Structure 1
């Protein structure tokens, strides 16, 4: 006998209630699982945060504590320029950046010329001089030009003006150009002396690309255009020798320029050492 409609409704209702009960049980289980995951995630985040604060995730890369590069030495192509001499490169790190160093140049013309290198203002130039001096790079080389700006040009073993080490470095201490005079004062104004007598400066070829070449000024130089020589130091002794160099007549070189010293100027040795007390020059040198 077929069940009555009331019985059918009761059975359907009971089935529905059982389904809802099972669904409620599943929902409670799901919430407990999510609650557990949430608690575990919260604990993990707290732990990670504490570890981060404590430095657990700090980089272990040794470069983070390694000394930073102070000077960068740009390689030069020795195959393209046979006048370059490869003696390696100076260090890039742990270089002196304060104080001064004493440079001594013994020449064929008299008492040694001494100079103070300004390590603070020309750190890389001083480092290069010191490195090359340690390699005897300048020894038994000639100062091959006397320029009409009142400076002797040295530091190229090839004597061509194209030579140097197999690296270069940028300017560090080029003096600022003097302000241009007003139109009304142009006729009376004189250029400022930016390279006093006794100044030691690097000579880049091209300008701004320095190697081993350098100038020593034997008279004040007031450039009429933007200065291009980076100052590295100042002569402190041997001024009589420097004055003697300034009086050497010049003859025409192979390029047709009247800059070649008529008398040979040979650097017998050039050394650089720590300078604890810098002596003051006794007099200015004028041509």
Structure 2
């Protein structure tokens, strides 16, 4: 079941989907043409973020290592082996360098936030799963400004053939806490996982937050973007999207291809 879009304080918050089929998400715009995002006024570009919560503190890891599970799911969009599941570190950071057709995007992944997610992402990068793959979705609307990547098919439905559960910030809340439905600010520079809203639907799709964005705390945060990387994403965003996706946004008007993903 997909998470429904949320309308709060006049801002439409589109769901960040991964592995869910939506026929309108893979087609062109309604008139068959592509157009840049319309310019907005200064007033329209202002959002009172104080109306929304902030991400909670990252819980201290209970141990230096954890065990992770990556059960098989729908067929992989590209051949890859699931990551190791035992003795996964909860300490330190991992640099990842994305070389894209639009410029470099440096990431720093934080194991303390999401050890199983970082373990999966680094495994995918080391196996070349992210090499020569598109960033298939851009959203430029106020309150949701992200670039989404990680699906080799480019359709927004592909994944690595396995799934795993959501980590921080969801793990900072008690199970079934009503606060999990309340949007919070995902700050500019955040790297987070896309999911379909069903348990265990994290896979390979991730999104890069290039301006403060507002979402429920159900999307795993697992790192940050370098300033150089943000400049690259902002350049892509400035050219807009084609508006082809019913969940919000569309394909970037400037096509973006991850050429290589290297773990430092």
| Structure 2 residue ranges without an equivalent (≥5) | 1-64
Residue 194 of structure 2 is aligned to residue 203 of structure 1: yes
Q: CA deviation at 1:69?
A: 6.3
Deviations 1:113-151 (A, max 9, x none): 112111011001100011000110011111011023100
Aligned partner of 1:121 among 110, 113, 118 = 113
**CA–CA separation in structure 1 for the residues paired with 2:97 and 2:189:** 14
Query: Secondary structure at the residue paired with 1:229?
Result: coil
**CA–CA separation in structure 1 for the residues paired with 2:189 and 2:66:** 31
**CA–CA separation in structure 1 for the residues paired with 2:202 and 2:256:** 22
Residue 97 of structure 2 is aligned to residue 104 of structure 1: yes
Query: Secondary structure at the residue paired with 1:164?
Result: coil
**Cα distance, 1:119–1:254 mapped onto 2, change above 3 Å:** closer
Residue 137 of structure 2 is aligned to residue 167 of structure 1: no
**Cα distance, 1:254–1:221 mapped onto 2, change above 3 Å:** closer
Question: In the alignment, is the contact (CA less than 8 A) between 2:189 and 2:211 conserved in 1?
Answer: yes
**CA–CA separation in structure 2 for the residues paired with 1:173 and 1:261:** 28
Deviations 1:196-222 (A, max 9, x none): 001000111345410000000010012
Aligned partner of 2:225 among 235, 260, 272 = 235
Q: CA deviation at 1:249?
A: 1.3
Using the size of structure 1 for normalisation, the TM-score is 0.60
Aligned partner of 2:153 among 139, 158, 172 = 158
**Cα distance, 1:84–1:195 mapped onto 2, change above 3 Å:** same
**Cα distance, 1:166–1:232 mapped onto 2, change above 3 Å:** same
| Counterparts of residues 59-74 of structure 1 (less than 5 Å) | 70-74=67-71
**Cα distance, 1:198–1:69 mapped onto 2, change above 3 Å:** closer
Question: In the alignment, is the contact (CA less than 8 A) between 2:66 and 2:89 conserved in 1?
Answer: no
Question: In the alignment, is the contact (CA less than 8 A) between 1:207 and 1:229 conserved in 2?
Answer: no
Aligned partner of 2:252 among 258, 261, 279 = 261
Bigger radius of gyration, 1 or 2? 1
Instruction: Identify the structure with the greater helix proportion.
Output: 1
**CA–CA separation in structure 2 for the residues paired with 1:126 and 1:117:** 6
Query: Larger RCO: Structure 1 or Structure 2 (Cα < 8 Å, ≥ 6 residues apart)?
Result: 2
**CA–CA separation in structure 1 for the residues paired with 2:82 and 2:66:** 13
Query: Secondary structure at the residue paired with 1:102?
Result: strand
Query: Secondary structure at the residue paired with 2:213?
Result: coil
